[in-house]
Amino acid sequence: MKKPTVRTEIIRVNSKRPDYHIIRKASRLICNGEIVAFPTETVYGLGANALDPSSVSKIFKIKGRHSDNPLIVHIDDMNNLKKLVMEIPPSANKIINKFWPGPITLVFKKSESVPDITTGGLNTVAIRMPRNNVVLALIKMSGLPIAAPSANISGRPSPTKAKHVKDDLDGKIKLILDGGTAEIGIESTVIDVTQQIPIILRPGGISKESIENEIGKVRFHDSLLGLENSKHTKNRSPGMKYRHCSPNAQVILVEGPTNKARNKIIELTERLKIENKRVCVMTTSKSLKINAERIQYMGKRFETIGRNLFSNLREADSHKIDVILVQGIQHKKIGFAIMNRLKKAASKSIRV
């Protein structure tokens, strides 16, 4: 195994009232072109000075991320936004007024100040103002917009705890700020506001229904509706074409009415046991009796299921599970984002 080259320090920080000295330490690293991992309300981020190509290039290297996959730029106030974009369309203003700081990222036409490497060569830039005092304080003290993808190795489930970041990036970065478990657990919604009717490129922490309540009609990108091969597949979010959220275990998603899905999961578990496979079942049914190595209860409410989703997938790996059978949920509200991540994690989906 390759020896780690850097000592990775984890510092616990109060997520409501972050300690000045800790934030100063992190902001010095950012200002010196280094990389820092920090909590946000969605998932942990891996941040660098968004305006400096050499700092940003380190993020791609550390994550093993493809250079055509643009990063989200995190800001702490509206003056920063104006410097980074060509224009702020009216629909964007409405979304910002309602949901920022919060789990929604807007795609704008970019200004000259944003380097090409940050946007994967696109002439648009994705921006969000996160709702977490640690990252907000870090941006403020650094005086810089911070480019940050999720702080995982590309293809792994996004980290929702500092420990997940360490599991993936130990020896690769100097500092992880530990602000506890991420409140939402699913990444932000990415919405393209350069279009007449805004297009959701990635479902996430704010649902389509909530956005439509504020601004009227928005669309899901075709790729999210299984219309990949239709003629309108331009303007997609480049990151969505990569497989994501995958634990080491094979994931099989079982969708359908609760009783039928449960029965299918029981049947599959029996079959896999005969093949000597270690099975973990992730279910929304508390009372499911099943002869699996592990049963992980996902919760009932979308918020709970979302908060624990990536953590549950990583947990199964730590128990050396071969196959994770996941019970699907409804595709509405945040359930749509949860199902999107599960479909990406799954090598197989079964509908009953």
Nearest alpha-carbon partner for 74 in 122, 98, 41: 41
> Kind and range of the H or E element at 114?
none
Residue 223 contact partner, candidates Mg ion, ligand TXA, none, CB within 5 to 8 A by sort of partner: none
Q: Concatenated DSSP letters for 220-269? A: E-GGGGT-TTSTT-TT--GGGGS--S--SSEEEEEESSHHHHHHHHHHHH
Q: Report d(CA 174, CA 29) in Å as an integer.
A: 9
Whether cis (ω within 30° of 0) applies to the bond prior to 101 is yes
User: How many Cα atoms within 13 Å fall on the side-chain side of residue 288?
Assistant: 30
Output the CA torsion 126→40→26→2 (10° steps).
Answer: -90
Residue 311 contact partner, candidates Mg ion, ligand TXA, none, CB within 5 to 8 A by sort of partner: none
Q: How far is the CB of 150 from Mg ion (least distance, A)?
A: 3
Our finding on whether 85 is near ligand TXA (CB under 6 A) is no
* CB-closest chain residue to ligand TXA: 239
105/207 with CB nearer ligand TXA: 105
Name the DSSP letter for residue 71: P
Q: How far is the CB of 74 from Mg ion (least distance, A)?
A: 14
> Kind and range of the H or E element at 164?
helix 162-169
* CB-closest chain residue to Mg ion: 150
- What is the crossing angle of helices 208-215 and 90-99, to 10°? 120
49/188 with CB nearer ligand TXA: 188
Our finding on whether 188 is near ligand TXA (CB under 6 A) is yes
Among 39, 45, 115, 157, binds ligand TXA (CB under 6 A): 45
Our finding on whether 160 is near Mg ion (CB under 5 A) is no
Our finding on whether 69 is near ligand TXA (CB under 6 A) is yes
Burial of 282 (0-12, 13-18, 19+ CB in 10 A): buried
188/312 with CB nearer ligand TXA: 188
Our finding on whether 238 is near ligand TXA (CB under 6 A) is yes
Residue 180, phi then psi, degrees to nearest 5? 85, -170
Among 115, 149, 185, 198, binds ligand TXA (CB under 6 A): 149
Residue 40 contact partner, candidates ligand TXA, Mg ion, none, CB within 5 to 8 A by sort of partner: ligand TXA
How many binding residues for Mg ion (CB under 5 A)? 1
- Cβ(330)–Cβ(342) below 8 Å: no
- Residues in 132-151 at the binding interface with Mg ion, rule: CB under 5 A: 150
Burial of 234 (0-12, 13-18, 19+ CB in 10 A): exposed
124/283 with CB nearer ligand TXA: 124
Our finding on whether 180 is near ligand TXA (CB under 6 A) is no
Output the CA torsion 107→111→114→120 (10° steps).
Answer: 50
121/143 with CB nearer ligand TXA: 121
User: Which range of residues in 120-128, 170-178, 226-234, 251-259 is near ligand TXA by CB under 6 A?
Assistant: 120-128
Q: How far is the CB of 64 from Mg ion (least distance, A)?
A: 12
Our finding on whether 105 is near ligand TXA (CB under 6 A) is yes
Binding site for ligand TXA (CB under 6 A): 40, 42-43, 45, 69-72, 103, 105, 107, 119, 122, 124-126, 130, 148-150, 187-188, 190, 201-202, 237-240
Binding site for Mg ion (CB under 5 A): 150
